[in-house]
Amino acid sequence: MGGRNGLSSPCLPRLPFLLFLLLLSVAVLTVAASENENKGSSLSASEAEAAVSRFREYLRINTSQPDPDYDAAVRFLRAQADDLGLESDVLEFVSGKPLLLLRWVGRIPSLPALLLNSHTDVVPTEPLKWAHPPFSAALDPATGNLYARGSQDMKCVGLQYLEAIRRLRAAGFAPDRTIYLSFVPDEEIGGNDGAGRLAASEKFQEMKVGVELDEGLASPGEEYRVFYGERSPWWLVIKARGAPGHGAKLYDGSAMENLMKSVEAVRRFRAAQFDLVKAGMKAEGEVVSVNLVYLKAGTPSPTGFVMNLQPSEAEVGLDIRVPPNANTEALERRIAEEWAPSSRNLTFEFKHKVSVHDMFGKPAITPADNSNPWWMLLEEAVKKANGKLGKPEIFPASTDARFFRERGIPAFGFSPMANTPILLHDHNEFLNKHEYLKGIEIYESIIKAFASYKGDAKDEESRAEL
């Protein structure tokens, strides 16, 4: 109808209609705000809030070296396991260093198990250099960043395992393979009393692990980083000796002169390796890295050092990281002939030296191509959860995964943290809560795929049922 009668209908008066539009707009904005608050995640607002709350509770437990509160961490994690109906056992290979082992029994126990490993300890902090106390788990409401030591390395991953299992159990999923979760001590000081002891134990043999997942690194970009091997640590000390002399005397063969020649040779090698990384010819994990960690020389005095005395001894400590495909024989020759030749009164000693090979004499790497079904499953599972893996890499440092690769077990380092600066061991370490929640879904997809994979194994249990 036209005219004045068309402006006001008895079925829809003008004022109520405007009120209806206003209420509709508020509802739309509320829904949009809720979706934005939980962006990139299928978790409901209440599920997300509960998951973040549990993560913050774990982060507040001070497990920093050298005096980590392992007992508090185990109590918290065991309570989570009880809530999820998982079997739990506390192993203590070394007194005072508890290892929590959880188990979700699979439908086909004869299949090799899936091991999800994480460490409970974290590195020390310098609290005065943090914007928030490092164990407060402070959450910035404006950015969603959650600040805490361990937020990236690697309490996030341990809790994401549990949260993913929480969702799988709620959905009624039943794994074919048995799933183990290990929360181990001491990774930050070498891991020998934690994952190292576990991997060498009779208990581990009983577990029949077929594949292991461990920690990775954050990625500043959109793609998740994944690691199929890691560099082995060689901690080297070079010592120089020579006759002491007056501080004003010039002569050849002093301890300091001999050591400085070695340091210069090391510096040249380091620069050459680093140039390959800077030029984009190799990734950081593919070169031999060498860093000076200390210099020790001089004759102490009450006010510092004796300044008119050339010392008879001097030494340097080097942190060397060797990729699994490196020519280790050539590197050792370089050390003996160029860095520390006996002809210059130099000696060397390895304080710690990890082999780049597994127990079968092969490079300790896990194939990350189509020849490995676990790699294909991982890639597809991440894709299914709307994520994407970057090019597989060699981890530039060391993780607990090496203890399992040494035994020929496939192992991948993977921490689902995209769009995140790498802040492990740094001040103001943080992880955005949205990335944390997205990581839960990524692990849900991975665990489901890995635990359902049967490969060529015969389903004897199902056959018996038939």
Task: List the structure tokens of 292.
Answer: 């000076």
Residues 131, 147: Cα–Cα separation, whole Å: 9
Residue 137 region by backbone torsions, left for phi larger than 0, else alpha for psi between -120 and 50, else beta: left
Residue 187: active-site member: yes
Residue 215: active-site member: no
Residues 318, 321: Cα–Cα separation, whole Å: 10
**Cα 271 off chain centre by:** 27
Residue 246 region by backbone torsions, left for phi larger than 0, else alpha for psi between -120 and 50, else beta: beta
| DSSP assignment string, 119-155 | E--B----GGGSSS-TTS-EE-TTT-EEE-TTTTTTH
Residues 427, 130: Cα–Cα separation, whole Å: 6
Catalytic residue among 47, 163, 186, 187: 187
Q: Are strands 232-241 and 304-305 parallel, antiparallel or unpaired?
A: unpaired
Q: Are strands 179-184 and 113-119 parallel, antiparallel or unpaired?
A: parallel
Closest C-alpha among 160, 189, 145 to residue 429: 145
Task: List the structure tokens of 285.
Answer: 């994990």
Burial class of 291 by CB neighbour count within 10 A (0 to 12, 13 to 18, 19+): exposed
Catalytic residue among 47, 121, 186, 215: 121
Residues 323, 319: Cα–Cα separation, whole Å: 13
> What residues act catalytically?
121, 187
